Structure 1
Amino acid sequence: MDTYILLLTLFGMAAFGMAWMPSLTKHTGISYSIIYVGIGMLLYLVFPDKLPKPDPIQNNELAMRLSEMVVLVSLMGSGIKIDRPFSFKNWASPLKLILIAMTLSIGGAAVLGYYFLGFSLAAAVLIGAVLAPTDPVLASDVQVGPPKNDGRKSETRFTLTAEAGLNDGMAFPFTWLAIVLAMQASGKEMSLLNWFGYHLVFKIVVGFIIGYTLG
């Protein structure tokens, strides 16, 4: 079978299967993301030569594009569930998680990695930026339901859903901080002031303005 046709078939079956996943996860208690990971492992056992190599080092560009697509789809899925109008008062809980709890988590993980695990400063900051965000897919079972679904509405569910959609935007600046620190360690001139002004302040402010304007 042609690889392109096989991939289209698998993507179609995966999308079609999502119609049954809520019922399946309800009865089994297993997140649909875990189920799809298991199916993916089986597919690579059955079609090892037909599917793209899952090694991100060999297929760097493919791995990056697929990762971007998964992140965008996951975040969009979290975002469209939220029907609460934005205001700092209404969104106080997720903003506290993002601005306080998440930054403390990044800092704590970086300290542990640097002082106790022997990582370089750049690696420790990167570990913190990677581990701190909540996974919007794995956390989907405790998030709010679709808009107008009052059966799955609560402050806790709303907070987790909103935090899952916002945390990647907060983690990216610290990922860039790790890159800046790594480049400084290798002898290249990189400005922490530029990171603070552009990657942290400017991008977050612009992202907030665009998101608020577009609703």
Structure 2
Amino acid sequence: MISSGSWVQLDFGPSAMVPLLLGTFAVCFGLVSMVVKERLFLSDTLVAMLFGVAAGPAGFGAVDAGKLVDVPSFTLELTRLIIAIQVMAAGITLPKKYLLTELKSLLMLLGPVMTWMWLTSAIIIMLVFRLGFVESLIIASCIAPTDPVLANSIVRGKFAEARVPQHVRNIISAESGANDGLGYPYLYLALYLLKFSTGEALTRWFAVVVIWQIALSIVLGALIGWAGRILLQFARRKEWIDHDSFFSFAISLTLLTLGIVAFVGSDDILACFVAGNSLTWDDWFREETVESHFQDVLDTLFNFTFFIYLGNIIPWGTLSGGSGLLTTGRLVTSAILILLFRRLPATLAVARMTPALQTFREAIFAGWFGPIGVGAVFYAMVAQKELEDHVFDGMRVKEYLLPIVLSLVIGSVFVHGITIPLYHIVSAVPNASVAVTRFLSRTPSESSSNFRFPFGPRALSISAPHPRIAAISNSARRRESALGIVSSSCPASAESTLLEPGFGGSSSNSSGSRGPENLPNYGTIAKRNI
């Protein structure tokens, strides 16, 4: 920047530093992105957040976003836009009539599982921070939805394509897209219970939230997506729309849906997801745009921007030494307990009633990977805005809301971001590889001939293991034998990879046995199979 009457000077202001930092990260990360994501198996969101921390007040202090923008309002609108784009993308990528064909699975995950996530998180927050139960419900409602941005990084990439079946990836995407718009009923039920009498709270909640926000948004989203599909097909037949406009149509429809639904005061996030699925209801748009990466590029840039921004604005001073019971130890304790018990037990409990989760292994994967991210920050901003009402004056939830939610987002980004690398490291150790593989490959029939899942009408015992599971067990026994571990008397006669075919593995038959002189190279096995 050149100023009048002076020599050229370096500009360390935000107009230079913000694009400099964003561009530096995008260029440098892009050059090594394959190494980071496909070899180290680290999530780009984790790396972006760490970069934001390093560039912010807690690090080198290059940029302090808190001094450049009004953090609450800017964060609210930024997260709204990012989530809307992501849930629209989730709806578009789902197969033909997916919401209808997998309705039972979605109802199980969006009903019992999400309610469990809300109540369990509230109980943990209440016990750790000694808040009232309804106050804890407000905070828990922010983290009840799974995050579509972090879920998208889980279901895409080399590891997911090789190890996670398509139907599991689809149900994770569908759930994260749908339940991000379903956080409103949980949040406003808790807010209304604090603000009004019980009867009035329930009446307002049903009329305003359930009917006007949820039901109306589903109808509007379906109509907007249907109209968009009809008009787009008509314009394509008439050759009125060019190539670039066709591939950017989903982004345009996202903005239109946001505007229309927000104008009538309904749930714009849920409407975007429904509109995306309605747009590709007959699979035409999805198949036409399957080779287009325009939206992926836009998603990546938005995600980089947000997580760098998030790392920059995290109030580390509050998280490291808050007042009262808001201490680092309690924040860490609550994060550990919530990540362990918030989702996994409920997913395993309803696995037998969820057709999209066909094995115990798939239920574990779907139960563990329910990340907390952009959606939690969005609902925290919505809750903070609602708590400005004088009715909530003096309540500790106003002070505790953001630190607890942000600490959980940090914990989820970190833990879920390193889960896959840790899985590879553990699986590279011979004994651990056998143990992990045998545990994840279990079915009820392998534990006991009389084992029953105690939930639902499908709680039936299984008389014999699936042939795939038998092959995995044989492989594990051979490895135990090669290591000198005492195993069962059932011999292994066929060689199989650690992963069943549905998870990207393949099996091959070979005869003969391995002697001590032919011990397998476990580093090669782990690299090939895990």
* Shorter-normalised TM range: 0.7 to 0.9
Choose which of 17, 32, 41 in structure 2 pairs with 1:6. Answer: 17
Mapped pair 1:211 → 2:225: no
**Paired position in structure 2 for 1:53:** 66
**Whole-angstrom distance in 2 between the partners of 1:184 and 1:161:** 36
Residue deviations 1:10-34 (CA, integer Å, cap 9, x gap): 4455566568646521111111110
Residue by residue over 1:31-58, the C-alpha shift from the partner in whole angstroms, topping out at 9 and shown as x without a partner, is 111000011112223344x4422899x7
Q: Structure 2: how far apart are the matches of 1:3 and 1:90?
A: 48
Offset at residue 165 of structure 1 (A): 0.6
One-letter identity of the residue aligned with 1:52: A
Equivalences for residues 1-215 of structure 1 within 5 A:
1=11, 2-12=13-23, 17=29, 21=33, 24-44=36-56, 45-48=59-62, 50-53=63-66, 59-114=71-126, 118-143=130-155, 154-184=166-196, 191-213=201-223, 214=225, 215=278
Query: TM-score, normalized by length of structure 1?
Result: 0.76
| Contact 1:107 1:128 (C-alpha < 8 Å) held by counterparts | yes
Q: Unaligned stretches of 5+ in structure 2?
A: 1-10, 226-277, 279-530
Q: Is the Cα contact below 8 Å between 1:125 and 1:178 reproduced in 2?
A: yes
Percent of paired sites with the same residue = 20
1:102 offset after TM fit, Å?
0.7
Q: Distance in 2 between matches of 1:94 and 1:26?
A: 30
For residues 155-193 of structure 1, the C-alpha deviation after alignment (integer angstroms, 9 at most, x for no partner) is 2111111111111111122112222233248xxx96331
Residue 141 of structure 1: CA displacement? 3.9
Contact 1:136 1:164 in 2 (8 A): yes
Larger Rg: 2
Where 1:36 maps in the other structure, the secondary structure is helix
Q: Secondary structure at the match of 1:6?
A: helix
Residues 102-151 of structure 1 show CA distances to partners (whole Å, capped at 9, x for unaligned) of: 12322333345457863223322123312222122332343267xxx999
Supply the distance in 2 between the matched residues of 1:175 and 1:32 (Cα, whole angstroms). 30
The number of equivalent residue pairs is 207
Conserved 8 A contact 2:147-2:176: yes
Q: Determine if contact 1:123/1:178 at 8 Å carries over to the other structure.
A: yes
Q: Which amino acid aligns with 2:202?
A: L
Q: Is the 8 A contact 1:183 1:190 kept in 2?
A: no
Please say which of residues 107-116 and 63-72 is displaced more in the overlay.
Answer: 107-116
- Measured in 1, the distance between the counterparts of 2:24 and 2:93 equals 24
- In 2, the alpha carbon distance for the partners of 1:140 and 1:108 equals 25
**Higher deviation after alignment, 202-211 or 63-72:** 63-72
Unaligned 5+ runs, structure 1:
none
How far the C-alpha of 1:98 sits from its partner, in A, is: 0.7
- Kept in 2, the 8 Å contact 1:121–1:181? The answer is no
- Structure 1 distance, partners of 2:163, 2:124, is 40
Change (3 A) 1:10 1:71: farther
Aligned partner of residue 191 in structure 1, secondary structure: helix
1:77-111 deviation per Cα after TM superposition (whole angstroms, max 9, x unaligned) = 43343233244333432232012211232233334
Label 1:110 to 1:73 Cα distance change in 2 as closer, same or farther (>3 A).
same
**Cα distance change on mapping 1:84 and 1:126 into 2, 3 Å:** farther
User: Counterpart in 1 of 2:372?
Assistant: none
